[in-house]
Structure 1
Amino acid sequence: MASTTLTLSAADASPPPRPNLGETSGAGAILALDLGTTTGWALQAADGLIASGTVSFRSGRYDGGGMRYLRFTNWLTELDRLSGPFAAIWFEEVRRHAGTDAAHVFGGLMATLTAWAELRGVPYSGVPVGTWKRCLCGKGNAGKGEVIDAVIANGFSPASSDEADALAILHWAVTTNGGING
């Protein structure tokens, strides 16, 4: 069996330059994520249409430790392909978790997301919880019920707080131009 050696230089590994996160209007889809075992997502396509939902990355009984992250990578790739590439990705920037397992899952999903985006030259950024809650609800410490009520008042019907959070993050990104003008 023949063996092939592939040599890459540092220049080969460099991703394409990333555009400014504020320059996303009309350039492609904007994705907002509430990362977790059940990930909430909201996507605004380049034509302005918005879709949202949740996706589960729960590990199965016989899954290895990295399977949830491989499924997340495949899901991102397929969503990017179907939506016609992402102009930017925004995710909830969590600084405090209720438990160790939640912190580990969040960290793994965030690492997977940021590596995926870097490889494709897609700009991404975390949004502090208080920032997007203040934009949508008028106060940074709004509870889950208040966020859901505010999202419903904006014409959406989220099935869970995860989906509502993603819609709220998308609302913040669109309303404030990703914090560039807000």
Structure 2
Amino acid sequence: MNDTILSMPELEAYEPFAGTAHSPSIARAHVSDAADPWARGGHEMAPDASPRRADAGSTVASGAGVNVCILALDLGTKTGYALRRRDGSTRHGTEVFTPRKSWSEGQKWARYRAWLAGVINDEKVHRVVYEQVIRHEVKGRPVWDAAHAYGAFEAITHMVCDGFNIQAHGVNLSTVKKSFTGSGRAKKEDMMLQAKVRGFKVVDDNNADALAILHWAVAQERAA
């Protein structure tokens, strides 16, 4: 499968109502069907479908599922996502919101809002879970640009979810890492490797983190 991450041409023109019921061309999520990959310990890849924007693939397995649709997000300019439908089918990938020179200052946020609202609306999402970052640091030093961007993505996530009367729940990544790999200090390479071991074809570490968040969320739902 071609894993090239593409942009969102349908939203090239700025839409003041993007992400709302008034948007004429709200971003639509691409769908591929499969059965429940969370029903057992191992996960098998379904045959590759045609490449569709940022979708990395889908998975298939048998067994009883969780009766809610869960969307997991690794927030950022490159937002990793993993969605598990009520029927157990899963789609995942990375959606890129890197600004183009032609974009106005607010289009990055409008496009994320439109994309998220489109996924929630089209997929009938019941739960949204995202990585909750306490601080952004590189070698012990704060990275303010990343922190500011994350805050905006988090705020928009809560705003969109509130519009659909669903709650966005943040979870610490170390908790997710321990659930997914057995170590709360797992590195990016470890997360990607674990995703591949579980049968997922990931496009990057953002995609792998989203799958790990979804893995944790499904476990919590089953334990409830």
Write the distance in 2 (CA, Å) between the matches of 1:119 and 1:68.
19
> 3-state DSSP class of the match of 1:177?
helix
1:119 CA drift (Å): 1.8
TM-score w.r.t. length of structure 1? 0.80
Q: In structure 2, give the amino acid aligned to 1:52.
A: H
Q: Are residue 79 (structure 1) and residue 131 (structure 2) matched?
A: no
1:44 CA drift (Å): 0.3
Question: What residue in structure 2 maps to residue 13 of structure 1?
Answer: none
Alignment equivalent of 1:121, drawn from 156, 165, 169: 165
1:77 CA drift (Å): 1.7
Q: Are residue 26 (structure 1) and residue 70 (structure 2) matched?
A: no
The root-mean-square deviation of aligned C-alpha atoms, in Å, is: 1.7
1:127 CA drift (Å): 0.7
Q: Which runs of 4+ in 1 moved over 2 A?
A: 62-65
Between the two proteins, the alignment pairs up a number of residues equal to 155
> 3-state DSSP class of the match of 1:176?
helix
Which structure has the highest helix share of the two? 1
1:81 CA drift (Å): 2.7
1:122 CA drift (Å): 0.9
Q: Are residue 59 (structure 1) and residue 70 (structure 2) matched?
A: no
1:104 CA drift (Å): 1.2
Question: What residue in structure 2 maps to residue 156 of structure 1?
Answer: 200
Which aligned pairs between 1:1-182 and structure 2 lie closer than 5 A? 25-27=66-68, 29-83=69-123, 85-98=124-137, 99-177=143-221, 181=224
TM-score w.r.t. length of structure 2? 0.66
Structure 2 gap ranges (5+): 1-64, 138-142
Asked whether the equivalents of residues 71 and 129 of structure 2 are also in contact (C-alpha less than 8 Å), the reply is: yes
> 3-state DSSP class of the match of 2:126?
strand
Q: Percent identity of the aligned residues?
A: 34
> 3-state DSSP class of the match of 2:119?
helix
Asked whether the equivalents of residues 73 and 81 of structure 2 are also in contact (C-alpha less than 8 Å), the reply is: yes
